[in-house]
């Protein structure tokens, strides 16, 4: 009788492990099988990439941050907020689309990867927390394409408004941080007034708002916490549909401890302010 019970338990354990290992694995999520990042939405401490640092240096921002708190008319404040941040989102997305175009050209070419392209792909994969490999198959390049893609302006503006209190929060005015990104090196940011005594995180400081926008998009494109968001975006690409904030927002359950309530709040901001009107044409 005891042997029979032990056999039954062993069979159940094997069956559970078999289910977890497959064969029900999603193809859309499996494309990120070589992920090197940890599943933590709060791990947003990555510095700008070397390419971004060079870009910031060669493309300095001329305009100063608006004093949003001084704009008392709500409609005017919102208008100024959207007007200020939207160009930075488009700027980042344009750079992403340029890289996607090059990757798609490589994918359509059956020739062996040149040393230059191989080095470039290795750098991009490292920047997006994917493993660097000795050789890259088409599936490896497609995995990179899944991370190297745009974030719709509507979603960026809604989260920025929510996280920065429309540009008036201390983290936005003192640290140019519009998305609540954290960092974990002492002195890397501003210490939250409500931080627990045993916590060591700070709210990251940026040189300007553009750097905050770029870091936020990089975070959504590389952090393991947002696999669901990237899978949804990939599905839209495969179905030749527009990438919208209202569709991707459901992949943000790990962005805030509030979970679904946070998602609904971002949805409400997009709908109430008709933020989809800021989305642009989206080439592959």
pLDDT of residue 200: 65
**Which CATH number among 1.10.10.10, 2.60.40.10, 3.40.718.10, 1.10.530.10 corresponds to the domain 50-59+69-278?**
1.10.530.10
pLDDT of residue 166: 97
pLDDT of residue 198: 63
Lowest average pLDDT, out of 48-62, 150-164, 236-250, goes to 48-62
Strands of the chain, DSSP E? 182-183, 189-190, 202-204
233: which 2 tokens?
């975006």
- Residues contacting 230, CB < 8 A, separation 6+: 32, 146, 147, 149, 220, 221, 251
Average per-residue pLDDT in the chain?
85
pLDDT of residue 63: 79
166: which 2 tokens?
């429309």
Q: Mind listing the pLDDT tens digit for each residue in 82-140? A: 999 999 999 999 999 999 999 999 999 888 999 999 999 999 999 999 999 999 999 99
Q: How confident is the model at residue 31 (pLDDT cuts 50, 70, 90)?
A: low
pLDDT of residue 36: 53
pLDDT of residue 184: 77
Q: How confident is the model at residue 244 (pLDDT cuts 50, 70, 90)?
A: very high
Q: Where are the domains of the chain?
A: 50-59+69-278
CA atoms within a 13 Å half-sphere pointing along the CA-CB vector of 246: 14
Buried b / exposed e over 55-69, threshold 16 CB at 10 Å, is: bbeeeeeeeeeeebe
Gap between the Cα atoms of 229 and 237, Å rounded: 13
Regarding predicted confidence, which is higher, 97 or 23? 97
pLDDT of residue 218: 96
Give the mean pLDDT of 46-74: 91
Q: Mind listing the pLDDT tens digit for each residue in 147-159? A: 999 999 999 999 9
pLDDT of residue 108: 92
Q: Mind listing the pLDDT tens digit for each residue in 183-211? A: 877 877 677 767 666 666 888 999 999 99
pLDDT of residue 16: 37
């Amino acid at each position: 009788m005891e042997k029979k019970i032990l056999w039954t338990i062993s069979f159940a354990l094997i069956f559970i492990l078999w289910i977890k290992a497959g064969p029900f694995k999603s193809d859309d999520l499996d494309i990120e099988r070589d992920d090197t990042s940890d599943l933590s939405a709060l791990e947003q401490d990555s510095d700008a990439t070397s390419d971004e640092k060079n870009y910031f240096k060669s493309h300095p921002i001329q305009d100063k941050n608006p004093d949003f708190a001084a704009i008392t008319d709500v409609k005017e404040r919102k208008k100024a907020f959207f007007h200020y941040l939207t160009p930075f989102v488009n700027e980042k997305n344009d750079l992403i689309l340029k890289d996607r175009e090059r990757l798609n050209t490589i994918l359509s070419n059956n020739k062996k990867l040149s040393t230059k392209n191989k080095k470039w792909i290795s750098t991009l994969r490292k920047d997006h927390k994917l493993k660097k490999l000795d050789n890259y198959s088409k599936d490896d390049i497609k995995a990179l394409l899944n991370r190297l893609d745009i974030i719709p302006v509507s979603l960026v503006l809604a989260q920025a408004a929510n996280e920065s209190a429309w540009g008036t929060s201390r983290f936005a005015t003192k640290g140019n941080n519009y998305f609540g990104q954290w960092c974990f090196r002492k002195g890397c940011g501003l210490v939250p007034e409500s931080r627990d005594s045993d916590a060591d995180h700070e709210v990251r400081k940026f040189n300007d708002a553009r750097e905050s926008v770029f870091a936020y998009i990089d975070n959504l494109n590389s952090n393991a916490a947002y696999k669901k968001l990237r899978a949804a975006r990939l599905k839209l690409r495969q179905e030749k549909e527009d990438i919208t904030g209202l569709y991707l927002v459901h992949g943000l359950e790990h962005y805030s401890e509030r979970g679904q309530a946070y998602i609904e709040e971002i949805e409400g901001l997009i709908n109430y302010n008709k933020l989809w009107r800021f989305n642009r044409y989206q080439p592959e």
